[in-house]
Amino acid sequence: MAASTAGDVALMLGCGVLVVVAVVLAWRWRGYVLSLPTWATPVDGGSARPGRAFAWLAAVALLTGLLVGVLVVGPAGRLAMRLLAATSPEAQGRTTEADQVVGQITLSGTLAFFIFVGVPFGLAVGVAYALAAFILPRGMAGGAVFGVASLVVFGSTLDPLRSDNPDFDIVGPGWMSVTVFAVMAVLTGMLTAPIAGRFGAALAYPKKWWAVWMVPVGVVAVAVLATVPVALMAVAAGALVFVSALLVSARSRERYWGRGKTAIQAALGAAVVVAVPGFVSAVSTIV
């Protein structure tokens, strides 16, 4: 039992270290914001490069998603599960919806959580943020807005605050579950923003050899988004807006971006408003 306990502590410390690394990196990179490189928006008379610009943005999104998945979603999610298990001693030994035993923290289970939950969700976050960053407030504030909006729109219908999730009847208390996952959503958004900004600054120009890693990672990201048709359609619409904005002349681009940004902000705001009643209902059920 002592060895098992020591192993549990080591795994949780490792997860904590990863989250701390993410916070440190985000703080060091807080001055970076995701913005288009100068070559992607040529002045009148220059040739537009929408395809290459989209490849650049896709690379930023995928790298951001991988790092966020490994340093934030995976370890923070594991820590959240451990905290809720610790506050529910009567649930020890029971089986969760994912067929995990409450109170048992194993290396294989932790690695599986990183691979099948952390990385896929991280990729979804990276792709969504890369397309939404241009209509959000800049920096970590925009990341926080992104985190809150994502939690309200998707949290009650998918995860982590799905009211019909039987795990909330096993671990808790409910108010702590809601608080932990809400903080995690905001933290994920805040850390994603500077990470995306740093990758955007580091990737100067797309290279053909990027396809070696972008294709397999991109397939995983699309597969994850395809499980939520609405999310996949939103990403496709965002990609279309992004590419089309680069095809207009430089003289028209500012007006195009202004009107397009306002329209998309209004649409996303409406989506959040529509989702609020369901979100509040789910939270009330859990609490």
Is pLDDT of 4 > 60? no
Average pLDDT over residues 227-233: 82
Is pLDDT of 60 > 70? yes
**Local confidence band at 146 (pLDDT 50, 70, 90 cut-offs):** very high
Tell me what pLDDT residue 2 has.
42
Which residue do the tokens 């902000």 mark?
Answer: 265
Domain ranges of the chain: 2-286
Least confident window among 11-20, 131-140, 254-263: 254-263
Tell me what pLDDT residue 156 has.
86
My answer on whether omega of the bond before 160 falls inside 30° of 0, hence cis, is yes
Tell me what pLDDT residue 130 has.
92
Average pLDDT over residues 126-146: 91
Tell me what pLDDT residue 219 has.
94
Average pLDDT over residues 150-173: 85
Mean pLDDT of the chain: 85
Tell me what pLDDT residue 256 has.
60
The contacts of residue 120 (CB under 8 Å, 6+ apart) are: 69, 220, 224
Tell me what pLDDT residue 92 has.
77
Least confident window among 65-74, 141-150, 212-221, 266-275: 266-275
Is pLDDT of 70 > 50? yes
Q: Up-side HSE of residue 225: CA atoms within 13 Å toward CB?
A: 22
Q: Where are the alpha helices (DSSP H) in the chain?
A: 2-28, 50-68, 74-86, 107-113, 119-132, 139-154, 174-202, 211-226, 229-247, 250-286
**Local confidence band at 3 (pLDDT 50, 70, 90 cut-offs):** very low
Q: What is the pTM of this model?
A: 0.89
Taking only the tens place, the pLDDT of each residue in 96-126 is 776 777 777 788 888 988 999 999 999 999 9
* 95 or 269, greater pLDDT: 269
Task: Name the phi and psi angles at 161, rounded to 5.
Answer: -110, 45
Tell me what pLDDT residue 179 has.
94
